[in-house]
Amino acid sequence: MYGDDDLVAEMEKMGPWHHRIEMRQGIFTGSSVQDDPTGSPVTYIDTAKSFDTSVAHVLPHGMEGRSFLDCACNCGGYSFAAKDRGASKVYGFDIRDHWIDQATFVQDHREADSSGMVFETADLLDLRDRDEKFDVTWFSGIFYHLPDPVAALKLAADNTRELLFLNTACLCQEDGGEARPGLVYKMEGTEQLMTGVYSLSWLPTGPKVLSGILAWLGFPETRVYYWVERPGKNSQGRPFHARIALVGAREPGRLEDVPTLKAPRMRPEPASA
C-alpha cells in the first residue's frame, strides 16, 4: 500500500493522464506532464462529472446493477464512474498499453471498490470473439478514429442489451445545420496518444447521420444530450471539429422523458494572445 506521497509520485511517473479519477480523498490521478512522447498535448477531463451529466436523465438512479462495456476506455475513468454508481460488472479495453497500465494501476490502488472490473489491451475487433453481452455500452472518443466506424459500432451494438452512449468529434457545419449528413474522410497520425492507430478515419457531420446509424443498429430511439461547435477554421483552413454525444435505446419509448438538444451550442472563440 502506497502512502499518499508515494502514490502521487507513482502517478507522476505514469503521466500523461487523460482522466481525472479520485484515488483517495483529495488525491486524483494526474501529473505535471501533459504532453505525450511526440510532444502532442493530452487533455485532462473530469470523467465522473461527465458521466453524471450524460446519464442524469437516462439512468437517474445510477447503474442499479447493470453491466458496463467501455470501448476505448483510456485509463478507465468512465468505467470507475459506472462502478461507483452501482454497476455490477465492468469490462474496459483500449488498444494502447499506456492507458491500460494506468487503468490497472487505478484499480489496484484506489480506495473505492473495484471488484468485478476487468481491463485489458485489446482491439475493438476482438469483440467478435467475446461471447458476452452488456446492459450499457460506452462508445466515447473512438468513432472518429476508425477506418470503418459503422462496422465497428455494430460490434459494440451487438454486445449491448439496453443503452448505447456515443460521444464523438464531428465536423462543424457552417450554417449550423446538417443539410448533407454523412461521414467525411480524414487522415490522422498514429503515434500520438490521443489519436487512433489506423490513420484512415471519418468524421460524422452531426446528429442526423449518427441517429440513422444507431437506428439501423437496433436502437430506434435516440437523444442528443451534448453538442458543442466552434465556428470558423483553424490555421490550416479546415473547419474546427465539434463534439456531440447521443444515447440510443433498444426499447421504443425508453427515452421519451429525456430532453434532446435541437441545435448546437457555440463555443466562444479563444481570446487573441
Q: What is 45-266's CATH number, 3.50.50.60, 3.40.50.1000, 3.40.50.150, 3.40.50.12780?
A: 3.40.50.150
CB 202 within 8 A of CB 186: yes
User: Above 80 in pLDDT, residue 248?
Assistant: yes
CA 17 – CA 53 distance, rounded (Å): 21
User: Above 70 in pLDDT, residue 247?
Assistant: yes
CB 204 within 8 A of CB 211: no
131-184 per-position pLDDT tens digit: 899 999 999 999 999 999 999 999 999 999 999 999 999 987 655 556 688 999
Grid cell digits, residue 226: 451534448
pLDDT given at position 273: 33
Q: Name the helix (H) or strand (E) containing 120.
A: strand 117-121
Per-domain residue ranges of the chain = 45-266
CB 5 within 8 A of CB 21: no
CA 243 – CA 220 distance, rounded (Å): 22
CB 24 within 8 A of CB 43: no
CA 91 – CA 89 distance, rounded (Å): 7
- pTM, two decimals, is 0.94
pLDDT given at position 272: 39
Grid cell digits, residue 200: 484512415
24-36 per-position pLDDT tens digit: 999 999 999 999 9
**Alpha helix (H) residue ranges in the chain:** 4-13, 47-55, 77-84, 97-109, 149-158, 207-216
Using 50, 70 and 90 to split pLDDT, how confident is the model at 71? very high
CA 242 – CA 268 distance, rounded (Å): 12
pLDDT given at position 141: 97
